[in-house]
Amino acid sequence: MIKAQRGTKDILADEIYSWQFILENAKKVFQNANYKEIKTPIFEATELFARGVGDSTDIVNKEMYTFSIGGVDKNETSITLRPENTAGVVRAYIEHNMNRLSPPSKFWYFGPMFRYERPQAGRQRQFHQIGTEVFGVKDASCDAEVILTAVEFLKSIGLDELEVELNTLGCPKCKNEYRAQIKEVLKPYLDKLCDDCKMRYEKNPLRILDCKNEDCQKIFEIKEVSEVILKDYICDECKNHFDELIKYLDELNIKYKRNKLLVRGLDYYNRTVFEIKSEALGSQSAVCGGGRYDGLVEMLGGTPTPAIGFAMGVERLYALINKINPEKINYFIVSNDTISALKLAQKLRRNNKSADFDLQNRKFAKQLEKASKVANFAIILGEDEIKGNYYSLKNLANGEQIKIYDFSKLL
């Protein structure tokens, strides 16, 4: 038997109503905040992610589904299933000259992403993200608006107790200083770091702070190391930006916690980074991750454009929300006259009433049993009704039954 691939999942009827609930709320909240939906392709040139996400990240190094086969793509371009969508949206922004639009340009998206990770609860190889990207504004008010939008969306699906973890990575100059200090203080402990961190030490030392390995954690706790790690290496301008953001968040009553070790796993960030977590999710606790990426548009060939956004894992949202039961349909037609049942169903559906009927022409008792499971009302269309030109309408909640002579009364 052929089974679904490891780390992928079918979303069946019992989950789909909750997924629709999540998506409908996303659409409502983002559109109310004037975000426009954007759909970009599921695969892109590998180079987009290598340059955009960064070739020292786990995503690019270990997790990409890359196809470099002349037979698949005759141009022999190496293509990759998108591991995330920021790089793709930035590519579209540049390709369609959207910098000509009056800023900000605000987008939201939903779709599958692909990462070759070790599957576990809350971590899949094909998963779905809902996200936003905002281009053209460098002011901290934009950071506040993006975080507010994330929080409002979570509230709309009943998740209003989640705390925002917040940090600032500073500008490239601050980041360089921080990197240099981290390398300096960790130098004596280099051979005690895990293999991944040994590699990060050369390529991306900030990412060492994100490491969950116990041996690495112990090193971070050494006094002289933790002093350097926890010190702020941000210039006055970056500090002002962060202070302003905090003022906005306070005004908006958004709960946040400063986490100086929050560095995020993608290379494009500068200044504000944030995550929203839920302990109920266990080790894969991040529901949402995002931040500012003021250098990415230029780095990918566009005109310099500040930008910020976030993405949320839909499977993780699903795990946290109260599940939504399927809504019952309006009518189930109980009849052994298939033609009449089909015609009535068609007429009701055209009038925007949901209706179904028995395709197996079973006995009335069986049909009524099915009706009471799936519908609010049964319309009985037996011989008497057809002869007498009326419908028997049965309220399946209380069993009351009445005769209806006028079709419009069903609408």
**Cβ nearer to ligand HAM, comparing 132 with 330:** 132
Residue at 6: amino acid letter: R
Query: Dmax of the chain from CA atoms?
Result: 94
**Cβ nearer to ligand HAM, comparing 287 with 344:** 287
Site for ligand HAM contains 117 (CB under 6 A): yes
Of positions 124, 204, 278, 305, contacts ligand HAM by CB under 6 A: 124
Of positions 313, 335, 344, 380, contacts ligand HAM by CB under 6 A: 313
The rounded distance, in Å, linking the Cα atoms of 345 and 356 is 6
Start-to-end C-alpha separation, the chain:
47
Site for ligand HAM contains 143 (CB under 6 A): no
Of positions 254, 288, 300, 348, contacts ligand HAM by CB under 6 A: 288
Site for ligand HAM contains 80 (CB under 6 A): no
According to DSSP, the β-strands at 375-381 and 163-168 are unpaired
Measuring CA to CA, which residue among 187, 196, 194 is closest to residue 218?
194
Site for ligand HAM contains 347 (CB under 6 A): no
User: Which residues have a Cβ under 8 Å from the Cβ of 111 and sit 6 or more positions away?
Assistant: 39, 42, 85, 128, 129
The rounded distance, in Å, linking the Cα atoms of 198 and 179 is 14
Site for ligand HAM contains 295 (CB under 6 A): no
Measuring CA to CA, which residue among 244, 296, 304, 333 is closest to residue 85?
296
Of positions 51, 106, 115, 175, contacts ligand HAM by CB under 6 A: 115
According to DSSP, the β-strands at 391-395 and 66-67 are unpaired
| Count of positions (residues) in the chain | 411
Site for ligand HAM contains 312 (CB under 6 A): yes
Rounded to a whole number of angstroms, the minimum distance from the CB of residue 8 to ligand HAM is 11
Query: Could you give the angle at which helices 214-221 and 223-230 cross, rounded to 10 degrees?
Result: 90
Q: Which stretch binds ligand HAM (CB under 6 A): 127-135, 155-163, 367-375, 393-401?
A: 127-135
**Cβ nearer to ligand HAM, comparing 136 with 290:** 290
Helix (H) / strand (E) containing 85? none
Measuring CA to CA, which residue among 160, 209, 165 is closest to residue 183?
209
| 107 within 8 A of 38, measured Cβ to Cβ | yes
Rounded to a whole number of angstroms, the minimum distance from the CB of residue 260 to ligand HAM is 18
Site for ligand HAM contains 114 (CB under 6 A): no
Of positions 33, 148, 199, 286, contacts ligand HAM by CB under 6 A: 286
Site for ligand HAM contains 316 (CB under 6 A): yes
Of positions 57, 105, 129, 270, contacts ligand HAM by CB under 6 A: 129
Rounded to a whole number of angstroms, the minimum distance from the CB of residue 252 to ligand HAM is 20
**CA 317 → CA 130, 257, 323, 375, distances in Å?**
10, 21, 11, 29
The rounded distance, in Å, linking the Cα atoms of 264 and 43 is 23
Site for ligand HAM contains 311 (CB under 6 A): yes
Site for ligand HAM contains 142 (CB under 6 A): no
Rounded to a whole number of angstroms, the minimum distance from the CB of residue 210 to ligand HAM is 11
User: Cα–Cα–Cα angle for 52, 297, 240, nearest 5°?
Assistant: 105
Of positions 35, 93, 310, 332, contacts ligand HAM by CB under 6 A: 310
**Cβ nearer to ligand HAM, comparing 276 with 355:** 276
Binding site for ligand HAM (CB under 6 A): 84-86, 115, 117, 123-124, 127, 129, 131, 133, 265-266, 286-291, 309-313, 315-316
